[in-house]
A and B are shown apart, each in its own frame.
Chain A
Amino acid sequence: MKKKKRKNRPGLSIFSILPLYLFTIVFVAFPLIYLFVLSFLTRAETWGVVNQLTLKNYLGILDPIYLNTFIESFKLAILTTGLVILVGYPYGYFMAKLNSDWRRRMMLLLMIPFWISSLMRLFGWVTMFRANGVLDKFLMMLGIIDEPLKLLYTYPAVVVGMVYALTPFMIFSVYSSAEKLDWSMVEAARDLGATRWKAFVTVTLKLTLPGLLSGVVLTFIPSMGLFYIAELLGGNKVVLVGNVIQEQLMKSHNWPFAAALSVVLMALTSFVIFLYRKITKVKDLEGLV
């Protein structure tokens, strides 16, 4: 039914969609092409690039150090996405089951942190995890631990930060598809002999899969590229592709190499999403991708 709607929408002439095309060309297509071209150019001695085509940038990525960074980032992205599903799916699902008053409250609870700069929120985690920080003091006060945990600048701290930053996106997309769910179908499944769990798996989960998948896309892609979380909460212990790109661009001023890394990262994420869609056979990711 959705597909039918998309066809032949009346009133959308070429002129009315022109601004949209222009916007896309200027702000999406052009930068992407520029990035792609940049990745084949040569770095200048001091600043900028020279117009000399080369494959050196891509060959440089094959260096074990960078390959390893890709693998580590990939692992972290998968771990993050998995945890985000575990936290975000139930939240979105139960929020859709609440009455409208409670929905609004839960939604507000999600929105409030967004009013604060994401960097500030991250510093909140820094104070939390720091040796003798809020968490340590709290746990020591309760007598659960005797010594500070020193969680800051560890892998788990980065994971927590990532999950924290990305869960809202999962919640929103799961909620949006769970909200549209006709609960009488779940009742029908129960009526036809399905246990709560069976009804959930065969009906609810299947029908909210588009939301879950778009949530996965919204989580997985950023978690490959987010650099400031790894930097602030992981120190130099956790280095991700995003960190390398940022470093190459801002510190080493090696733009072509940073561009090449970005292109590979993009290709990799696109491939993962492509695979994911193939496996799950869900074509419609709620309008995403």
Chain B
Amino acid sequence: MDNNLILKLEGIEKSFGEEKVLKGIDLSVAHGEFITLLGPSGCGKTTTLRIIAGLETPDRGRVLLEGRDVTDEEPNTRNVNTVFQNYALFPHMNVEANVGYSLRIKRVPKKEIVKRVEEALELVRLTGFEKRMPNELSGGQRQRVAIARSVINQPKVLLLDEPLGALDLQLRREMQTELKRLQTHLGITFIYITHDQEEALNMSDRIAVMRDGVFEQLGSPSDVYDRPRTSYIATFVGSANIIKGKVVKQTEDSVFFSCCNGTGIAALSGVTLSEESEVTVALRREHLSLHKEKPENAHGFWTVIKEKRFSGGILQILLSYGDDLELISSKQGLDSDMTVGDNVFVTWNPENAVPVDLDGDQ
């Protein structure tokens, strides 16, 4: 691991005035990894990125780049480049001059600059746009110029601050594929910021879900999606259902709990819960099964269908249970024969129910 380690953050803390924006960030990034910092605006993800870039100095903690402490180094001496949220293209320079900027600063011979600019533009599929000015480009094209400009110098780490935020949905999808292709092709480590969980799940090797200046969970997309650590993550990433119940009994690999008018079961090992204690369980919408009759020996509870919604080929059924508590079930494909007002029994596979907030975090 250590040889392969390219970037390390150790206990990064940062305050702006009274407000503590980062409360101890630790992160180890391997060479060639695609890491996404996912979180709502104001969670500190941009500040983290700016600290890695050197545009901000942490109050506490260290930034190590290939084992070298760069915490107090100027941004221009770090082999890290950034794709800014607003692209920050130089308005007084054409595409060619923008892309070649870092090479001109380094006084690379002119011939080589021309060659490398050409290659970089080819990479982002903008050949032929050399002489255009930034204000003559579309949003997507500007984005590509910004990427070409920051990869031309072959940085060790590329930082991307919500690079697709300003693009429309379709372009965003295209650019996601493109960025992933680029990253694999160049073999550069990407640290990517987004508040879009779908983007994070699609592209990343690992996701760090950020909240209030800390990493709430750091893991692979399937870790974060299938085994959310907290109810916050469960709802933020893929908007899972959260149900609360009281522990009835615990076996080696699962926990049984009571919930309004029924019982539930969830897979759980390695943690012991005391009887009668509260337990919170995350259940993905697509993992709910609805039955008109209660299946034998099944764990689950009765609910009432309140609403049915069809959106994008996915049927969503809003279910209510208990006192104003709601669940959403979703499934791909055709309408079901159940109608609003029906009583249905909800079940799920124990391994799809994930107890969350086990360590007392909210």
Contacts and interface: CB of A to CB of B under 8 A. Distances in A.
Contacts of B74: 190, 195-196
Contact of A189 (B80, B101, B106, B153): B101
A191 B92 CA distance: 18
Contact of A184 (B75, B81, B88): B88
Contacts of A207: 91-92
A35 B80 CA distance: 63
Question: Which of A191, A198, A203, A206 gathers the greatest number of chain B CB atoms within 10 Å?
Answer: A191
A184 B102 contact: no
Nearest to A207: B92
B135 interface: yes
- Secondary structure at the A interface, as helix, strand, loop or mixed, is helix
A20 B4 CA distance: 71
Given A191-B81, A191-B82, A185 B88 contact: yes
Interface in B113-172: 135, 149-150, 153
Interface in B76-94: 76, 80-82, 84, 86, 88-92
A193 B88 contact: no
A30 B152 CA distance: 59
The size class of the interface chain A forms with chain B is 10 to 19
Interface string A169-194: 00000000000001011011111111
Nearest to A4: B135
Given A1-B135, A187-B55, A187-B75, A192 B101 contact: yes
The size class of the interface chain B forms with chain A is 20 to 34
Question: Which of B53, B91, B106 gathers the greatest number of chain A CB atoms within 10 Å?
Answer: B91
Nearest to B104: A202
A188 B135 contact: no
B1 interface: no
A182 B134 CA distance: 14
Contacts of B101: 189, 192, 194, 202
A188 B149 CA distance: 10
Contacts of A188: 82, 84, 88-90
B66 to A, nearest CB: 17
Contact of B55 (A191, A193, A196): A191
Interface string A106-130: 0000000000000000000000000
Interface in A76-98: none
Interface of B: 53-55, 74-76, 80-82, 84, 86, 88-92, 101-102, 105-106, 135, 149-150, 153
13 contacts: A184-B84, A185-B89, A185-B90, A187-B84, A188-B84, A190-B75, A191-B76, A192-B153, A194-B76, A195-B74, A195-B76, A196-B74, A198-B105
Interface of A: 1, 182, 184-185, 187-196, 198, 202-203, 206-207
